[in-house]
Structure 1
Amino acid sequence: ISLAAAPPLLNLDPRTAEDLLESLVDTSLLESAAPGRYRYHDLVRLYARACAERDEQPPVERELALSRLLDFYLATAAGVYALERPGDRLVAHLEPTRHPGLTFEDRHSALDWLFSEANCLLACAQQSTGQNMLRRAVDLLWAAKDLAESGANSKQYESAALTTRDAARTYGDARAEGRARTTITNVHIVAGRFDEAEAEAERAMQLARSADDPVPNCWAPNDRGVIAIYQGRHEEGEQHLLQAIENFRADSNFVGQASALCNLSRIHVSLGRVSSAIELAQQGIDIYDRMGLSLRLANGRYALGIALTRAGRLPEALNQLTEALALFHDNRQPLWEGVTHFRLAEAHLAAHRPTLAAAHAEQAIALRGIGGEWRRGTVLTVLGKALDSIGQPDRARACWHEALAIYEQLGAPEAEETRLLLMPVAAA
């Protein structure tokens, strides 16, 4: 646990808490793993837990301690979220806390805190399933969603989200369940489990209506639009995203509106409406610029880069995607770096620069990307095209065979295109 998190847990002022922790280090009951961080030896932890559960204090004292820690994490994570996404209305809809949380000088120090506290924060959310803490635990996952999208803590994040969803369902808390299901939707999208993501998002929308909760009411249709993009259900996805835009506007959430506009741009690209796709992405970027956003601006430039690539405006597309890549890197989003390398590979291939396309595709494979195995298949397909263009047909065929195996296992429609790519290579 960190020195900043210990005072609310112990219900002590910071100086007294630090003195206590240091005295426990002196008696070898705690270890200081790093400056400002403390932990038990495994055996001491088990003994301390057994004492607490048996005779040290009644359960309500332990629950109050956990509740104070949860307040600290939620208040601070909400502050990080607000710093990363100024103007996003989510923070106005989070459960109130008694702890004010930490404040940060800049977004980089805020992200340092979020990622260094990830394991403790997610463990706290997963343990806070009591009825009086559950809504705050779910909201903590919302405020810390960067941990899921980065891929660094996706398994632990998913475990916590599933635990809170199941607890909310047990209590019959439609609001908590709807929000928990929306966090799980995001986890499934990141992993490329699109059918599961769609089922969670659809149920989240139903719960949002019954609970009159603007959070999943806005984000669930936005997520369903994204899922439809990946599954090729473009007309249906367009309707979901138009609904999301309307709901975001009703909530005065301009940042969410920009997200939905950029996603709608990708739908228009797939439908062949390239001019409107460029216009929609630019509208999203304009909103992000006005709000002073960094991470979300990367998403806008990513969407615009895709549209410009399809329009054949390749130098502009490469500029947008290169800027997006730098922003994703700056915001510690390696999975989004991966998909941006993939889009750069597509743009370079369209510009007849297969060597550069292959280099970006290989970077995309190394960094993985949003979409899991499905995304890996799309990258392998482009890498194969690049390798074939630079005179390496054997490596190209190996990439396409691997991509085809992925698509067939997933039942993805891209399998047919990959079979066609293999036919001329096999005939040669």
Structure 2
Amino acid sequence: TVSVLAAKLADERRRLDELQAGDLAVKATFELGYGQLEPAQARAFRLLGLADGPDISLAAARALLNLEPHVAEDLLEALVDTSLLESAAPGRYRYHDLVRLYARACAERDERTPQEREAVLSRLLDFYLATAAEVYALEHPGDRLVDHLEPTDHGGLVFGGRSTAIDWLYSEAAGLLASVRQSAGPSLRRAVDTLWVTQDLADSGATSGQYEAVATALWEEAARRGDARAEGRAALVVARTRMNAGRFEQADDAAARALLMAESCGDALTACWSQNSQGTMALYRNHHEQAERHLTAALAGFRAVDDRPGEASALCNLSRVRLAVGEISSALTLAEQGMAVYDDLGMSLRGANARYSLGLALTAAQRFDEAIASFREAHLRFTDSRQRLWEGMTLFRIAEAELCAQRPSPALDLAEQALAVLVGIGGDWRRGNVLTVLGRALQAVGQVDRARACWQEALDIFEELGSPEARQVRELVEGRASAPVPNTA
């Protein structure tokens, strides 16, 4: 029956054997082609099949095969000529799914030990970790994270500039994450560190689902092994992905676990970032005293390990806490201090985060044009670094500031743009906030019915989440509130 055949084909180890009719078999065709390869070509064919990514770049293939670039390229092009490998774009190679299964079977048969196959994947992970660390160092100059990563036995690429490095990160995201997931066994710590140093992928929203799934798998594996260092770092990464998705309570749980593990094994940097994350989660959940406590501890920790970017992050987050409790002057000072540190280090992306925090404080201070200028500079930097989530959130904040300045028409356009950018990323809580501001702008231009529809959708979101914002939005739906009140979280 079809169901029986589907079940057989679902088992990758049986799939090639099932695809036959009499003397005709797919596997036999592959055997014929493989048998005609020269030894070096045959080795390249079967070893490349071990990698799980959808395709592989020439640089990654060279690392996996442990060959010089021109030698690796000659071998791969020879495999393309024999139709055992495909090249969809210059410098990128992939297998047909069935050919990959055959190549992997050859590796399991012809490579003498499992350790030899593990060494192949270890070289590939080394390449991704070393290259990702180079990207991180260019995007985050002065950040101490690169000094706290697991060492690698093999190097990666070196880039001539930041733009090329970012291009590499996003073009290699699928293969990198596949390699990390595949290496959760023998190379667990390096796999976790590769995730941590590529956290911009999670922040961007571009690969957030795949990123979180891999991070969660590594967290579970680290916990199963009892590796406190790996578990703490994996939990920290998971906390960040959950925060980006708007699942703040779950994010706080992960950050708390990260802190516990970090303290148990003396991983100081992870402990600092865990406190920073818990402070941010407490802010989002309106637990302001708790947020102040965590962030003050994070600030002291970052200063103790001489991590200036971490110090700036804690300062900017403390700015938002002070703003939430009405201490506008303190919020402005802290945001400016954080921005000064980032600018001194030449950190464009993190400088955008500081300008975002400063824009919030300036909006609360009713210095609307200054706030909008700060947000627009942040937006340019977020766009340059491909941080789509924060592009959308900054558009939302500009809309909010325009609305507070009694300019509803540009606020309406910006809120609609923000809503479009945030489709599928950022979580329902952020969408609810954008809908609330969009509704206010619609009301201000006389589109009352559309405004009420936006507020009703936002109310449904906040009630389902159990968010305190539901009370204010309910008043809007019922016509009992009208003045725009910025959400400083």
TM-score, length-scaled by structure 2? 0.86
CA distance in 1, matches of 2:291, 2:316: 13
Q: Establish whether residue 400 from structure 1 lines up as the match of residue 455 from structure 2.
A: yes
Root-mean-square deviation (CA, aligned residues, Å) is 1.2
1:165 equivalent in structure 2: 219
1:212 equivalent in structure 2: 266
CA distance in 2, matches of 1:98, 1:421: 60
Aligned residue runs from structure 1 range 147-296, under 5 A: 147-296=201-350
Equivalent position amino acid for 1:63 in 2: E
Cα deviation for residue 171 of structure 1 reads: 1.1
Deviations 1:49-104, CA, capped at 9 Å, x for gaps: 22223444421111000000000100000010010001100000000112221111
Aligned with 1:354 (options 394, 408, 418): 408
CA distance in 2, matches of 1:319, 1:57: 63
Q: Establish whether residue 321 from structure 1 lines up as the match of residue 375 from structure 2.
A: yes
Deviations 1:21-74, CA, capped at 9 Å, x for gaps: 011001011001100000001110111122223444421111000000000100
Corresponding pairs, count: 425
2:420 equivalent in structure 1: 366
Q: Establish whether residue 117 from structure 1 lines up as the match of residue 172 from structure 2.
A: yes
Equivalent position amino acid for 1:70 in 2: L
Aligned with 2:137 (options 68, 78, 82): 82
Task: Verify the 8 A CA contact 1:193 1:371 in the aligned structure 2.
Answer: no
CA distance in 2, matches of 1:358, 1:168: 47
Q: Establish whether residue 25 from structure 1 lines up as the match of residue 85 from structure 2.
A: no
Task: Verify the 8 A CA contact 2:251 2:281 in the aligned structure 1.
Answer: yes
Cα deviation for residue 189 of structure 1 reads: 0.3
Aligned with 2:353 (options 299, 303, 306): 299
Q: Secondary structure at the match of 1:38?
A: strand
Cα deviation for residue 405 of structure 1 reads: 0.4
CA distance in 1, matches of 2:92, 2:83: 15
Equivalent position amino acid for 2:61 in 1: A
Q: Which consecutive residues of structure 1, in runs of 5 or more, have no partner in the other structure?
A: none
1:391 equivalent in structure 2: 446
Q: Secondary structure at the match of 1:232?
A: coil
Greater shift after overlay, 97-106 or 266-275?
A: 97-106
Q: Secondary structure at the match of 2:93?
A: strand
Aligned with 1:417 (options 457, 472, 479): 472
Equivalent position amino acid for 1:214 in 2: A
1:42 equivalent in structure 2: 97
Equivalent position amino acid for 1:118 in 2: A
CA distance in 2, matches of 1:254, 1:237: 20
CA distance in 2, matches of 1:164, 1:53: 25
Deviations 1:97-149, CA, capped at 9 Å, x for gaps: 12221111111000000000000000000010124x10000000011111100
Q: Establish whether residue 91 from structure 1 lines up as the match of residue 146 from structure 2.
A: yes
Cα deviation for residue 385 of structure 1 reads: 0.5
Q: Secondary structure at the match of 1:400?
A: helix
CA distance in 2, matches of 1:79, 1:207: 27
Aligned with 2:117 (options 55, 62, 77): 62
Give the percent of matched residue pairs that are identical in Structure 1 and Structure 2. Answer: 60
Task: Verify the 8 A CA contact 1:29 1:40 in the aligned structure 2.
Answer: yes
TM-score, length-scaled by structure 1? 0.98
Task: Verify the 8 A CA contact 2:269 2:305 in the aligned structure 1.
Answer: no
Cα deviation for residue 425 of structure 1 reads: 7.6
Greater shift after overlay, 134-143 or 41-50?
A: 41-50
Task: Verify the 8 A CA contact 1:274 1:307 in the aligned structure 2.
Answer: yes
Task: Verify the 8 A CA contact 1:182 1:204 in the aligned structure 2.
Answer: yes
Task: Verify the 8 A CA contact 2:275 2:298 in the aligned structure 1.
Answer: yes
Task: Verify the 8 A CA contact 1:262 1:303 in the aligned structure 2.
Answer: yes
Task: Name which one, 1 or 2, has greater alpha-carbon Rg.
Answer: 2
Greater shift after overlay, 98-107 or 114-123?
A: 98-107
1:15 equivalent in structure 2: 70
Greater shift after overlay, 52-61 or 139-148?
A: 52-61
2:13 equivalent in structure 1: none
Equivalent position amino acid for 1:411 in 2: G
Q: Secondary structure at the match of 1:424?
A: coil
Task: Verify the 8 A CA contact 1:324 1:340 in the aligned structure 2.
Answer: yes
Task: Verify the 8 A CA contact 1:178 1:207 in the aligned structure 2.
Answer: yes
Task: Verify the 8 A CA contact 2:352 2:382 in the aligned structure 1.
Answer: yes
Cα deviation for residue 15 of structure 1 reads: 1.5
Deviations 1:372-392, CA, capped at 9 Å, x for gaps: 100000000011011001000
Task: Verify the 8 A CA contact 2:111 2:117 in the aligned structure 1.
Answer: no
Task: Verify the 8 A CA contact 1:338 1:367 in the aligned structure 2.
Answer: yes
Deviations 1:265-308, CA, capped at 9 Å, x for gaps: 11111010000000000000100111011000000000000000
Task: Verify the 8 A CA contact 2:132 2:194 in the aligned structure 1.
Answer: yes
CA distance in 1, matches of 2:334, 2:340: 10
CA distance in 2, matches of 1:55, 1:18: 22
Greater shift after overlay, 264-273 or 52-61?
A: 52-61
CA distance in 2, matches of 1:425, 1:303: 30
Q: Secondary structure at the match of 1:96?
A: coil
Runs of 4+ in 1 over 4 A off after TM superposition: none
Cα deviation for residue 371 of structure 1 reads: 4.1
Task: Verify the 8 A CA contact 1:397 1:425 in the aligned structure 2.
Answer: no
